[in-house]
Chains A and B, each alone.
Chain A
Amino acid sequence: MIGGSNLGLTCQHLCKTYPTRNGLITALDDITFSVKEHEFVSIVGPSGCGKTTLLKLIAGLSKPTSGQIIFNSGLSRHQQRTALVFQEHGLFPWMTVLDNVAFGLEMYGMPKRDRRDLAMTFIEKVGLVSFANNYPHELSVGMCQRVGILRAFAADPQILLMDEPFGSLDAQTKQVLRQELLRIWRENKKLILFVTHDIDEAVLLGDRVLVMSGHPGHIREEIQIPIHRPHDPISEQQLELTEIKWHIWKILEEEVLKSLQMPS
């Protein structure tokens, strides 16, 4: 296997175009990058730069117009298990928290008792046991988002794709859930692709940050975050992180200004 890792993935020259009334729109243009096993990669970019499209391609929810996604496992797109976490949690309102968390396992054909037991261990980890038999509408938005993340982790995919999972939450809840995500990730190491428009979030969570820009979406820069988590809030590391954030902001600022002048 490539580099001794059989759980990584590589995207090669991915392009995605959509037909619209005004002709073809290129959402993604020549995206090439690879991610190693257990790596946490953030993808940051302005809205409309095709971040979500990229995740949906990897999740197999749509097909690339050209280019390919190679899983180091050698599995095809349909065999490779991925789990996508959506911005609006996407929980099934007709299932209890327990059944929602167990959904991926159910689709993989795990017997009812086994999958419920396994789902319960995940629910216990975040202290939601008393809500296991509640329906999503009885939960707060933050709780739903956590259940959505649990559903993905419980399915035990080799590859976890997260599409702005904290985008709709308030700042404090976000902060807590980021820590929780890092904790769960440390316990069950997975390859995570984490899409966000929040530079702080990208730098805080990722081992590496891919900076994307839009129209058409492409990767502007890859930045390695040289500091190991948890980041020490008072050390000189902060300076270095601030420099990285400033650097990313400079790239994105250009993009944002461009999009403000351009009627979209």
Chain B
Amino acid sequence: MPSTSMETEQSPIIRLRKITRRFPGVTAVAEVDLDIYPGEVHVVAGENGAGKSTLMRILYQVERPDAGQIYLNGEPLSFHGPHYARALGVAMVHQEFALAPHLSVAENLFLGREPLRFGFIRRRRELAEARRLLEQVGLDLDPRRLVASLSVAEQQLVEIARAISFNARVLILDEPTATLTEQEIARLFEVIRQLTAQGVAVLYISHRLDEIFQIADRVTVMRDGRVVATLPLAELSEQKLVQLMVGRAITNLYPRPETHPGPVLLRVEGLSRRGLLHDCSFEVHAGEILGLAGLIGAGRSELARAVCGADPIDSGRILLDGHELHIRRPADAIRAGLAYVTEDRKREGLALDLGVDQNITLASLPARLGLLLLRRERSVALHACQRLNIRTPSVRRKVRLLSGGNQQKVVVARWLETQARVIFFDEPARGIDVGAKAEMFALIGRLASEGRAIVLISSYLPELLNMCDRIAVMREGRIVGTLSRGQFSEERIIALATGASEVTIP
């Protein structure tokens, strides 16, 4: 393992100075300084939304920084996009892979730069080169196989092989283990160590504590777009790392709603869906806000979707007011009084080409004998806009033209019209600006205080800690713990969600 003293011996291959990137309503990356040395595994850690991915996208020149300078081997870089970054030896493996599934491994490796002779692809040359590259990442498979037939881990190694085939000196891996098994992770780590032994600098984004302590040479912790600290691993303990990631005293960004939980309204018993959900049980009281915490992929959305009939379940019972519900499709859940405000409003929530009014009434069309009551629809929509403060010049405006926050409110308005008594909010604040966020959370609090049961899914812990009466933590499709308000701490939740031994904060 390279020693940390190389800082003094070697000059950094990459230097970031005062890098800043703003998005509407939020500064994703703020004045970040970062030095990356050849041959090190440099982990960038932080909570979801801390700015890790944005920073990496800036380095790979997908995202243009608003301010700041990147130096490669001491030379200032201009911005030309990912092609330029790759030509300079900076490669990135994204969370979602960019391979063409219907082409072979070899074809994918050389896509866009096939070895040619007289305009024909030199297939034998291509295959030989591909074998050499695969060997380099420790992947023993026939390069003629189609990418679609590979496992996720194999595809990832193919991606890495492609990245290093550009003679990458800096390799960026964005949460590479999200979908891998233990053995696959071990193999990936081996490949990473081989690469660093050859002098490649590996930038590794992660928020999994166990991994960080296995692979990192140095760790940079980001929070709210800023670098909090860069430390050699030797100077870090799990406890200290968690403290750095969490950092702030829990501030009151979110209005703590006045909730008065009543009797149990929704009870879910032993809900399972093969490969995704394992024996999930929880209950929500009327007037209560239950948080669902966990890492991305822990099964929170899957649980909400299963309860609300969007996905089939293999076993388990769902009871509302003590009566068992038989939910086979979303319509059944809606009729029973459940609602699911989806995470991805554009893909799953809104009919973007329809009007505000038509989106609001989509799940509760006022109709008599099949004929729409258009005047009634209009008044329902007007009142919903008024009540939720949806800002639109007209209720007939296409939803596509509204801001993210207003779009989100349109989705919520739709579910309020169905008289839902239990509402699942899946990342309700994602992609909306700060003002709209505060409004959204105030609204959620109001809905709970009116006696509805709320299940709030969020990857941003401060949201959950402030809003919720209780928090259930999920990991790998299971509910691994439920905390009541007195037991709330970010450290405890992160420990449950990552499976790290619990960190006790003095």
Bound together? no
